[in-house]
């Protein structure tokens, strides 16, 4: 899996790229959890979301926000991290200009950033958000949410309350022309310890529904 370094708003950003199976493959960007609480692009959930898109032939990128790993800069309370994500999507599109559409995914803090990117980029056709921190951050900017997508939440999450995610989804479901699916993983904590396979299965079934079932590629290593 190629390591990539690209320019961000505050310096170089470090990422991992899996090129798509064709020059006109769709693109996917996956965002990691909170940088100040150990979040990196190598988080297990981020890695598995990345692999789920890569197996479907997407050109897929995960990267470290500013100040994480070899990415330059310093944590910026979400403002700078949103700019980093936009720069990552710009980089993907500049290198893969024939991509017909994009998807975005994120875990926890990364889900909050992902939804903000979604609001700003009409080329994003769908999203997958795991444990979106609806009890910790304001999601009222989703007015309206521009694309359909999936949210997955553990019932025993000790950081993100399941009720807050359910309330967020109920609000989004009142909007027209989009569909937001919510799936709960029974007994899963915030990091889905022992429940990763269930999480991946939910995401796979959702993508089958949205994109159509297709042969999966062997998962890339790295």
Quickly state the pLDDT bin for 114 (edges 50, 70, 90): very high
**Is 1.25.40.10 the CATH number for 3-208?**
no
Mean pLDDT, to the nearest integer, of 130-155?
97
Every domain of the chain and the residues it spans: 3-208
As a whole number of angstroms, the distance between CA 152 and CA 195 comes to 12
* Position 161 pLDDT exceeds 60: yes
Q: Is-above-0.75 flag for pTM?
A: yes
3-state secondary structure of 211: helix
Q: Which of 109, 199, 110 is nearest to 153 (CA)?
A: 199
The pLDDT score that the predictor gives to residue 221 is 47
**Measured between alpha carbons, how far apart are the two ends of the chain, in Å?**
6
Mean pLDDT, to the nearest integer, of 7-35?
96
Quick check: 96 and 116 in contact, CB under 8 A?
no
The pLDDT score that the predictor gives to residue 155 is 98
The pLDDT score that the predictor gives to residue 23 is 83
Q: Which of 199, 186, 212 is nearest to 126 (CA)?
A: 212
The pLDDT score that the predictor gives to residue 212 is 84
**What percent of the chain has a predicted confidence (pLDDT) above 90?**
91
pLDDT digits (tens, 9 = 90+) for 89-109: 999 999 999 999 999 999 999
Q: Which of 78, 76, 63 is nearest to 7 (CA)?
A: 63
């Amino acid at each position: 899996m190629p390591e990539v370094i690209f320019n961000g708003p505050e310096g170089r950003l470090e990422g991992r790229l899996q090129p798509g199976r064709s020059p006109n493959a769709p693109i996917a960007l996956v965002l990691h959890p909170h940088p100040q609480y150990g979040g990196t692009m190598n988080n297990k959930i981020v890695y598995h979301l990345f692999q789920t898109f890569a197996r479907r032939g997407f050109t897929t990128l995960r990267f470290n926000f500013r100040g994480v790993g070899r990415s330059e800069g310093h944590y910026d309370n979400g403002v700078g991290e949103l700019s980093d994500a936009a720069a990552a999507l710009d980089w993907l599109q500049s290198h893969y200009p024939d991509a017909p559409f994009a998807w975005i995914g994120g875990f926890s803090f990364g889900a909050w950033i992902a939804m903000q990117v979604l609001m700003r980029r009409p080329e994003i056709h769908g999203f997958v958000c795991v444990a979106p921190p609806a009890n910790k951050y304001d999601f009222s900017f989703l007015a309206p949410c521009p694309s359909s997508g999936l949210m997955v939440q553990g019932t025993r999450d000790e950081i993100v309350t399941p009720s807050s995610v359910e309330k967020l989804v109920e609000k989004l479901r009142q909007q027209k022309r989009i569909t937001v699916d919510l799936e709960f993983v029974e007994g899963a904590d915030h990091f889905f310890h022992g429940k990763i396979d269930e999480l991946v299965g939910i995401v796979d079934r959702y993508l089958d529904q949205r994109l159509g079932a297709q042969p999966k590629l062997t998962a890339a290593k790295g």
